[in-house]
Chain A
Amino acid sequence: MSHKDAVRSAITSVLLAASIATAAADETSIQLTEGPGLTQVQATCSMCHSLDYILMNSPFQDKAAWEKTVNKMVKVMGAPLTAADITTVVAYLDTHYGKVAPAAP
């Protein structure tokens, strides 16, 4: 086991311990809106971060901005999303957490 692997394993243990210890007030309290794409969001985005990142970054990103974010997560951060998943996830984010259109005059 390399040093980095050892550290990674230690980090995982710490995260697991932390998630058990603070189960009452942790990220499981985050509720995203139901809709097509939520399954993919929960399965992949949450591999690396809690889903409050989505809430926090809303509602000011238009579809192009969400697309840029999702593509960065896939290309740079390694999120395992297929091309079809990307379309679904971007549509979900745009529909439920996208930029609110200005009110009609």
Chain B
Amino acid sequence: MDRRQFILGSTSALTGGVLLPGIVGRAAAQDLPAGAVASGILDALPGKRPLIKRSFRPPNYETPVGYFREAFTPNDAFYVRWHTGVPDIALAEWRLRISGPGVKSEREFTHDALRRKFKTAEVAAVNQCSGNRRGLFGPHVAGVQWGLGAMGNAVWSGVRLKDVLEDAGIAASALEVIGNGADAPTLTGPDFVKSLPMWKALDPDTLIAFEMNGEPLPTWNGAPARLVAPGWTATYWIKALSELTVTDKPFDGFWMKTAYRVPKGMFGASGFESQDTEQNSPITAIKVNSLVVDPAPGVVLERGKRVEVLGIAWDGGSGIRNVEVSLDGGKTWRDAKLQRDLGRYSWRQWRYAIKPDQAGAMTLMARAHARDGSTQTDTLVHNPAGYHHNVVQKVDYHVA
């Protein structure tokens, strides 16, 4: 059975716009706003498998959790998130310009010139939308009402941002690197532009990527090139990248200064001091999290039969130390078996065998601990924009 058949097979009917409780997961579907459940149909963008449509335009499409059975998320099942229209730029026409007061000389590269001049680098990393799980917030907050699938794991390949910036020469005054893509607002709204602090821009794992999972980036995921800022939420991973500006003062565009903010101190230090204010900080590193992938919530398990639970766990780059599972509402916890380490920015698959011996309702909880000592929260840390939902998941099954 191929992947598509599996996904299709797991819902009762899939012609046209149907609801997706079986795919989204019972708990998630219950927690999303009713209007998001009703409008969250399965729909296939050209070149993509059917994904959960959150909005047609700009295209915001979520990956059904079943695809997370695989260590790396297939490109054609990878979630899609745009603020504006999607640029379609031929690789031969594409140019990357580097300028600003923070570089010693300006540069302009074609794709060929970049690949010829700089060494290829790759990194396995989770790409997670800042608003992943926003739809599960209680009380709800406005925005794209994402469930569990505004994320994916991939091997990203391209050139190091560091190498390109150093080729232009970094001035002592350099403070932030601003990335701009070829997308543009429809009316007079602010262009989607984001900046990185120098330390993150110069991290050898921060890339200008042309490929994901060994194939050219799909247009939906940022072709011809996108920034890859491993460990940081996807808002910094500028798609259809066309311009880099190295500045000597904090960039004050709307999407940095006003949007993508968390209350100061609520989630620890941002690591982006030049963008901190007295009230708030930019969202930056992904918080430690985990997800039960299989069996899906609500599945009926056979009494006395051994079942292997499959899940994933990830964080902002310290790596996963351990994942614990509880079957008694959190009173006792036992370690799950971590699978192969694919790199500290990748998610880590885990397995845990259960053999339910009592008929009736059963709840499984999973909790990941990162190597930096952080762990998931027991209750939601509510914040206005709906970020960093990493509450310990409770998955209900029925044993019969």
Residues of A whose CB lies within 8 Å of any CB of B are 4, 7-8, 10-12, 14-15, 18, 21-22, 25-27, 29-30, 47-50, 52-61, 65, 68-69, 76-80, 97
Contact = CB atoms under 8 A, between A and B. Distances in A.
Contacts of B185: 48, 77-78
Most buried by A among B57, B187, B254: B57
A18 B142 CA distance: 27
22 contacts: A4-B184, A7-B87, A7-B89, A7-B182, A7-B183, A10-B88, A10-B89, A11-B183, A15-B85, A30-B56, A47-B187, A52-B39, A52-B53, A55-B35, A56-B54, A56-B55, A56-B145, A57-B143, A59-B33, A60-B139, A69-B142, A76-B258
Contact of A49 (B43, B58, B258): B58
B18 to A, nearest CB: 12
Contacts of A30: 39, 56
Contact of A47 (B17, B145, B186): B186
A79 B186 CA distance: 10
Contacts of B183: 7, 11
Most buried by B among A48, A61, A76: A48
A78 B43 contact: no
Interface string B245-284: 0000000001000100000000000000000000000000
A103 to B, nearest CB: 15
A15 to B, nearest CB: 5
Given A52-B39, A61-B142, A14 B54 contact: no
In this complex, the interface size class of chain B, counting residues with CB under 8 Å from chain A, is 35 or more
Given A26-B56, A59-B34, A7 B46 contact: no
Interface in B167-187: 182-187
Given A11-B183, A78-B187, A56 B33 contact: yes
Contact of A22 (B46, B87, B184, B254): B46
A44 B190 CA distance: 17
Binding site of A, secondary structure by majority: helix, strand, loop or mixed? helix
Contacts of A27: 56-57
Contacts of B332: none
Contact of B189 (A10, A14, A60, A78): A78
A32 to B, nearest CB: 11
A55 B16 CA distance: 18
A8 B245 CA distance: 20
Nearest to B95: A3
A30 to B, nearest CB: 7
Contacts of A57: 33, 35-36, 142-143, 145
Interface of B: 16-17, 33-36, 38-40, 43, 46, 53-58, 84-89, 139-140, 142-145, 182-190, 242, 254, 258
Contacts of A78: 185, 187-189
Contacts of A14: 85-88
Given A11-B85, A56-B33, A57-B35, A65 B189 contact: no
Contacts of B145: 56-57
A25 B142 CA distance: 25
A50 B57 contact: yes
Contacts of B84: 11, 48
Contacts of B188: 77-78
A103 B218 CA distance: 48
A79 B258 CA distance: 18
Given A10-B88, A14-B85, A25-B16, A48 B187 contact: yes
B142 A50 contact: no
B224 to A, nearest CB: 13
Contact of A60 (B16, B33, B86): B33
Contacts of A53: 55, 144
B55 A58 contact: no
Contact of B144 (A7, A29, A56): A56
A76 B254 contact: yes
Nearest to B138: A60
A101 to B, nearest CB: 14
A97 to B, nearest CB: 7
B249 to A, nearest CB: 22
Nearest to B58: A49
B68 to A, nearest CB: 22
Contacts of A79: 187
